[in-house]
Structure 1
Amino acid sequence: MFEQRLRKKSVDDSAFAWTPWPVFALAAAALLLSALFAAGLYGRSSAVKALLDQGRADANLKVALLRAVLERPRALPLLLAEDQQVAEALAFRNTEAIAALDRKLEGLVAGTNASVLYVTGRDGIAVASSNWREPLSFVGNDYSFREYFQRAMENGTAEHFALGSVSKRPGLYISRRAENQASALGVVVVKMEFDQLEGDWHDADRPVYVTDADGVVLITSIPSWRFMTVAPLPADRLGAIRQSLQFGNAPLAPLPIVRQEALSEGASIVSAVLPGTGAGEYLRILTPVPSTSWRLEYLVPTEPSVAAAVREARLLALAVLVPILALIAFLLRRRQVIADRIAAEKALREELERRVAERTVDLSRARDLLQEEIADHRSTESKLQVVQQELVQANRLAILGQVAAGVAHEINQPVATIRAYADNARVFLQRNRKEPAEENLGEIAALTERIGMITEELKAFARKGRTPPEAVDLRSAIEGAVVLLRSRFAGRLDILQIDMPPPGLAVTGNRVRFEQVLINLFQNALEALEGKAEASVNVSVETLADEVVIRVSDNGPGIDPSIRSSLFSPFNTSKEKGLGLGLVISKDIVADYGGRIEVDSGETGTTFIVYLRKAVS
């Protein structure tokens, strides 16, 4: 038996000694994989950042070159619009003047980068052109439908990129209105083509293209991308462009570019399909072209640079981690030397495990007791909610009892008056005087309606239970509270000054419960002013965006500081016969419907502020 135990102990000790090696292998593999992954992310990030910096510099150079190309021909329409020879040719239209103007335009184009230079009359028909000798001369063509002609006639100048209606070649049209002191004579137009610029940009690996405000490609180093769009155009805008023939019959299809990741403003990672090279990942850099509504977009391939950066970062990570892991393996190997200590540590561990097991049993018992306590708390909470509802009803009935005696007087007075009117009506009928008898009967009906209103208010106020929220007319609730208080505070309600809300102002809640809140607040204010000269209670209503605010202010002595901090706590009162529940219940009622109550008290008086949710109409 002893040998069996010794053999079992030796096996257990050996297993314990060798257990860290599989763990170490898994941890080392996980660490290496995590490090390689993190190094790949870092290498990619640093490569993209370097490409972004270099790409932005290249894009800025290309924008500068584009601006230089644009600025040279822009001066031609400005100068020719003021030229006397142009004015005379447009004004008089004689053959000699027009021929001289043709030769002049032909000579100007030869010395600039412009494609063609021509002059139209105010009707849009070309009068003279630099290509007057060519078979496809612009002379005699009607350009009144062109946007650059219309905008130049309206605004004096215009720039418009479009496909030539005669040459079928794309270009930028720069126009300027020619005029004399009397009126507009016509328009001077220079067309600029960008073949040389596109040839300078030609690089299959790094596409460059310029888009207009609609995202249509105008100038590009990839000819097949011309007149494609950065994103699908709205149907109405697409129809307008096609109708204007700005880009001929081009389909205006979206570019084969899909955005994958946004880097910063004007830069993102995209997937693009280039002609002849297939799909690839590119860094897209967007740069606005000053003095135009254009935007230059530059695609820089990321895969070669990113692959090299990732490879370099991972090799560096391996160079750091492999020696560290080798050192850890050496330390683990030394751990076997102290294997003889493991037996004693194992016995200690078993004792600790036994104690933990005992403690676990104790904790399980404590958990069972705690669950029982939780069940008891939940039962108590349910009972507390029932008690709270009973307290609300008790407070309502207490208020009802306070006003009941006065209401009896309020009813007795109209009853006595009804008796007098009835006796008078009998006398009038005996005397055959119908008209005064009918007047007395009408007064009897009015007094009966008044008694009915008082009793209905009492019955509604005594009704028990919580109802779902509804739209409550605030003016009616205030008037109902005043009716129930009128008898108890007879002769003193003149100090209650109410700025009634406009008819139709509704809040979310229940009328009877809101009347209970208002009666509590009005009653507290009136009782606080008992025996005070020049007493006043002011009630105002303010409408906010989504709330209605009711302020009940009195000029009494204020709330005792000793109870102010616990004003809304149960059974906290300064009245000899008070229960200290009125304000607590009022706060709960308002909170039930999403509102709140605040108080501001001092030596000059007290103001209760009630915030109620405005009912949605």
Structure 2
Amino acid sequence: MTTSSPSFRDWLLRGSQRRLLWLYVAVFVICLLTLWRGGDALKQQQIEDLNRETQEQLDQLASVVESAIAKYQHMPTLLASNDRVRKALRDGLPSDINQLNRELEQINRITEASDSYIIDINGDTIAASNYRLSTSFVGGNFAFRPYFQEAIQGKAGRYYALGTTSNRRGYYFSYPVYEGDTIIGVAVVKVDLNQFEKRFSNQAYEFLMLDPDGVVFSSSRASWLYKVMGELSYEELSRIAESQRYFDQSIETLPIVARRRFAERASVIEMLDEVSDSRGDSLVERHRYLTMEKPIQLLGFKISVLVPLTAIEEQIALWRAIFAGGITITMLIMGLAHLRSRMLQERSDAIEMAYHNQAYIREVIQHTQAGLVTLDGQRRIEALNPAVEKLVASPLSGLIGQPLTELFWPSETDQTRWMKALQADFDNAVNRSTTVEGTLQIEGHREGVAVEATICELQLPNRRSYLVTFHDMTERKRYEQEITAARHALELRVKERTFELEESNHLLRHEIAEHKTTQQELIQTAKLAVLGQMSAGLNHELNQPLTAIRSFAENGLKLLERERYELAKGNLQQINQLGHHMGDIIARFKVFARKGNVAHTPIDVQSAINGALKIMQPRLKEASIQVQSPQSVELAVLADMVFLEQVLVNLLANATDAIMEAQPEDKWIKIAVDSDDSQARIFVQDSGKGLSEEALAHLFEPFYTSKPSGLGLGLGLSISQRIMDSMNGDLSACNPTEGGAQFCVTLNLFLPDQS
């Protein structure tokens, strides 16, 4: 009975552990199921919120497009009532036609229409606003166009098509020109739709303008033009081809592979998009969009917006990964609870050992008697510690600014080495320090103090400084004298005294080594103190957002004067965002000052580039600099959004300064992105004159700048490099073969499978 009792207890213990294990597994599975269902509910809620926001954006977009086109519908009527138009059509004199061409050109410049032209009753164009261009409509015959046929019958005509001469898409308004009751010609105004595509090309959504047949007539993506979202019959395709509306453009179907109704006016679709990988090869990916449509009554068109759901899906996936990780960690902590007693015991032993170590370190510091003196570039005394005054037993504040020779005299044997050390260039020296013996003595004192002096250079930016360490040698000298006297007097007892002398020498060497270690620690402390000077960089980092705020404010005032309140509201929103951005920068500097860690979170590279370009847009526009930037980068990196935008804004600002200084014929900045399996690279290249050899060697040093005096502090690239280091990234520069300068920002990719 006694022998079986331990086995029975072990069996009970193992059974309890198995039940506890199964309980952990069951709780873990329930948490995962709850996590999955909760993620679906959260995604549904976020798409509903996006649906409401998109509805407002769609209404605003449709209103802007309709009002922008509607303002041109009465222009043909006004042109048809112009006496000079009637006279040119009636008489056909070259002088009248030339004057009419100039007037049409001026009217186009004022109204910002695409083209205005006058057609006679045969369909020949006699005058046009683009008469100076090689693609002029003058002499062209447009009798086949429906807008001409409607106007020649006395009606106001409308039509949309791809221009036969200009090869540009447009919407046409026409009106007959009367001479009495007789139609003698037609006045036509063409509205170019490219202006709307440019205005809405940088939005968070893709937009489509569909004609009554469902063909994409205008889009934020050029690859979607002349395609349909549904299916067209053979008769419909034949009718479109016979109308010559799109010439030889083939009408294809957008690659929509799935469609699901989401709300009354919204659907979720899956579409195949063609993208390029890092090697330039084409890949096909499936992307989900929330799509909504709204008709434009004036034109008979429909406006459709497609909002990508990639960000929401990535956010839900990240949320699930983080929550699942938290559940896993919690379960592991609960499973390791039975080890708590052993960990507490080990922790108690570690704390006791730490207390012993701290007491030992305090004891070493308290018994350190090293005297410290700092010298400026001319080897004059800048500062000294109380230990030096204790060595000479006298206050030394009067020696500040005096040469070191007022305090220290080297021995005769070391005088030559000491003079060479004072004149040495430590940057190129093999030995970074020099140690000599000498005497600390000030005027008025008869006796000096024997010391060992060590001089080395402090690594401080923009100036030279030196540290001299003095160690009291009085005790050592006394030991040497006693040993010499004992050697002569007690030569017979040398063997007995040898052990004691070796022990004394060992202790003395140990103390000297400790003194040198303390000296190196103090040198490192002086280096770290220089970091306090970097707070001056805050002024430089806030300069770009302040410049952008000033530009937005000036534009806002002009827009208010013109009563363009919606655009003025957009400028105010930009100012508000820049204000928050400046607050984030200041907060990041506070975190940096507290030695805090930069948050490494998944950051969308396209969003960071768009944010930096938005800050720099006013300055780039003012400098007439063209920016070539990718529009659909789908990469996520581990970084901090505020810090990454800060680095990109600084690179764009430097590129702008370089271009304005060089004044090349072509002013451009190119932004490119590529990646490999683990890293992403963002390239910023300008058309300036490039970087000199000296600039490449010192580019990232604090306070170094190649700009003219007064145009830079020399802190931007130094701070940017520190930011990249804090994000485990890299910042480099080079001069590409095509000219200019190129900077490369390298960051680690965010890999969801490894999160």
TM-score by length of 2: 0.38
Which structure has the bigger radius of gyration? Answer: 1
User: Which protein, 1 or 2, shows the higher relative CO under an 8 Å CA cutoff with sep ≥ 6?
Assistant: 1
TM-score by length of 1: 0.46
Q: Higher helix fraction: Structure 1 or Structure 2? A: 1
